[in-house]
């Protein structure tokens, strides 16, 4: 399995697979699944298989990781699409850490377990468009699957279980004023109104925080106003990045924002809510028995689109994701294969 994982990961690294342009990589992955004896189904660039012997009376476990990557940043010192294995066991290449190592190890874990009698049904999904939370990614596949009891989402967590994950909501805000000539005492400067609201975003703290995810974080990241130096701007737009904890839905945070700012506020989406799995869930308990340390994750994944309990866990380090000279350690792949099998084989759901 180890050699097969590494060779597949090299093929994926060599194939550009930026979100919404994953077809070539999905073709390679589909071919690999068939060579492993699977009969995958496909929608867009998502691939999945339901293990033989499905029984609707049993709980169902989903294994999921994503095919796509972000665009390589300019600071790469290597060719991001040229896989390189060093003597000290580093495998360099775009998407090696996020999310190639999780993808190939979960695939081979699924292959090892699909014909092994378990107390649960098993489904494997390789999803597309995760990096952009696209409509043609996991959210397009889930309605086509049987009901899911719990999901194991492969992401670089150092093989520690992320049992809670922050959600995301992006707000586009518009402050209004009245145009006038800057040389005269006229007009109503929209920038001044925006500053008041931006100050609110920078100082207001929603009262509910948690040990795992901390408080809700609201950050103004983009601001635009004005057409030329001598015209009082009648409009100022700014964008707010909101990272929610499990205490609030995105809709609740949106309502609080609208009650406190004067600007017009539009949410791009309410889809990406925070998620959490119960500490007593058997999947998590199995990981804890191996000495794993649960934590709360600030980064978003396909978990946000899954409306059932999920745990995020995979090889690699999130701090390497989206960075130049991204890599995975071969030892991390080996450890992931062993750990996934220890958690899942014989699991009682």
Task: Please list the rounded mean pLDDT of every run of 10 residues in the chain (349 residues).
Answer: 96 98 98 98 98 97 98 96 96 97 98 95 98 96 98 98 96 97 94 98 96 96 97 97 96 98 97 94 98 95 94 97 97 98 97
Q: Are 5 and 333 contacting, i.e. CB atoms less than 8 angstroms apart?
A: yes
The pLDDT value recorded for residue 11 is 98
The pLDDT value recorded for residue 220 is 98
For 85-123, b where at least 16 C-beta lie within 10 A, e where not — what string? Answer: eeeeeebbbbbbbbbbbbbbbbbbbbbebbeeebebbbb
What lies within 8 Å, CB to CB, of 274 at 6+ separation is: 164, 165, 166, 167, 213, 244, 245, 246, 248, 304
The pLDDT value recorded for residue 304 is 93
The pLDDT value recorded for residue 247 is 94
The pLDDT value recorded for residue 146 is 98
The pLDDT value recorded for residue 194 is 98
């Amino acid at each position: 399995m180890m050699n097969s994982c590494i060779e597949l990961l090299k093929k994926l690294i060599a194939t550009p697979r930026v979100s919404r342009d994953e077809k070539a990589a999905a073709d390679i992955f589909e071919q690999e699944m068939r060579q492993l004896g699977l009969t995958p189904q496909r929608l867009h660039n998502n691939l999945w298989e339901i293990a033989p012997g499905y029984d609707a009376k049993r709980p169902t476990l989903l294994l999921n990781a994503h095919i796509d990557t972000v665009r390589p940043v300019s600071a790469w010192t290597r060719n991001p699409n040229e896989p390189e294995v060093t003597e000290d066991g580093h495998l360099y290449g775009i998407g090696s850490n996020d999310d190639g190592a999780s993808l190939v190890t979960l695939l081979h874990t699924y292959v090892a377990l699909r014909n092994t009698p378990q107390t649960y049904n098993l489904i494997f999904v390789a999803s597309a468009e995760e990096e952009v939370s696209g409509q043609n990614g996991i959210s397009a596949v889930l309605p086509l699957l049987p009901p899911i009891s719990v999901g194991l989402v492969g992401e670089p967590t150092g093989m520690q279980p992320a049992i809670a994950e922050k959600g995301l909501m992006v707000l586009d805000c518009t402050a209004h004023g009245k145009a006038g000539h800057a040389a005269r005492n006229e007009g109503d400067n929209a920038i001044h109104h925006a500053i008041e609201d931006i100050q609110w975003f920078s100082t207001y703290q929603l009262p509910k925080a948690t040990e795992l995810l901390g408080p809700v974080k609201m950050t103004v990241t983009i601001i635009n106003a004005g057409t030329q130096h001598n015209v009082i701007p009648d409009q100022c737009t700014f964008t707010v990045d909101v990272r929610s904890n499990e205490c609030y839905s995105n809709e609740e945070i949106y309502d609080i924002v609208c009650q406190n700012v004067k600007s017009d506020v539009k949410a791009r989406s309410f889809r990406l809510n925070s998620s959490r799995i119960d500490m007593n869930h058997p999947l998590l308990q199995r990981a804890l028995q191996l000495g794993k340390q649960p934590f709360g994750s600030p980064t978003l994944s396909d978990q946000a689109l899954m409306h059932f309990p999920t745990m995020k866990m995979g090889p690699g380090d999130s701090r390497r994701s989206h960075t130049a000279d991204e890599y995975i350690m071969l030892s991390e792949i080996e450890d992931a294969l062993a750990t996934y099998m220890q958690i899942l084989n014989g699991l009682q759901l």
